[in-house]
Amino acid sequence: MIGVFDSGIGGLRLLDQLRQRWGQEDFIYLADQAHVPYGSLDRDTLLELLQQNLNWLEDQGAKTIVVACNTASATGIVRRYIGQAQVIEIISKTCELIPESARKILVLATPFTVQSHRYKQVLAQQRPQAEVKEVGLSCLAFMIEHLCPKQEILAYLQGELRAYRGQYDAAVLACTHFPFAREQFAEVLQIPLIDSESIALEAPKKAGQGTLRIVTTGSGEQLSRQLHQLMRWDTVCEHVQIEK
């Protein structure tokens, strides 16, 4: 079984891609919506939440867990996780998707991810000649999580990013929520956009039954509505209480 973890709905598009690739594998998706947005939390709080959430996924049978949340990945949870499951973070794998021709790279992320400078660190190793600019978008994940109208999101991005229009070779949407606003990013920036949805992962060693379970620490009814509006999935989502 493969577990996919995100603070909210952001990892759903990655989950969709993984299921299209490995339709016979069993998946469980956990959204920690009781604590979203992660980008405003401090490191110690994040690490505590991550440990208990990943432990829970492992207890459900997940042998591999993809941490689809960039903010969570920026904490270094892969190195710190205490458990048996293989934990995969997406920052380094997302950086691998940036074209070699890109010399000026714009990284758009949550404030926590920007403050960690994890993308700069990875890109300094992968392509030391590149110029990297990190920009924090403090409100966007919250707006997407709460299904704000597209015009409101466009107006927000215009205010935050107008100065970067056409000034970079590529922009990394360094939060899994952000691709839900890809159309608005494209209109404002007019440069190629990179995200984590097509990252390369190793194929599962053993096929499952093709089952899917979607759970949240928040409202199951709310996540079901979000799934229908954003993904057109009519899936009943469960609420779970994850204890420390």
- Active-site positions read 69, 175
Listed in sequence order, the DSSP H helices in the chain are 12-21, 43-59, 70-73, 77-80, 91-95, 111-116, 118-126, 140-145, 150-161, 182-189, 220-231
Q: Are 175 and 108 in contact (CB under 8 A)?
A: yes
| Both tokens assigned to 31 | 């959204």
Sole residue written with tokens 């590529």 = 170
Cα separation, 191 vs 146, whole angstroms: 27
Count CB neighbours of 102 within 10 A.
21
| Both tokens assigned to 90 | 């997406």
Q: Is the peptide bond before 149 cis (omega within 30 degrees of 0)?
A: no
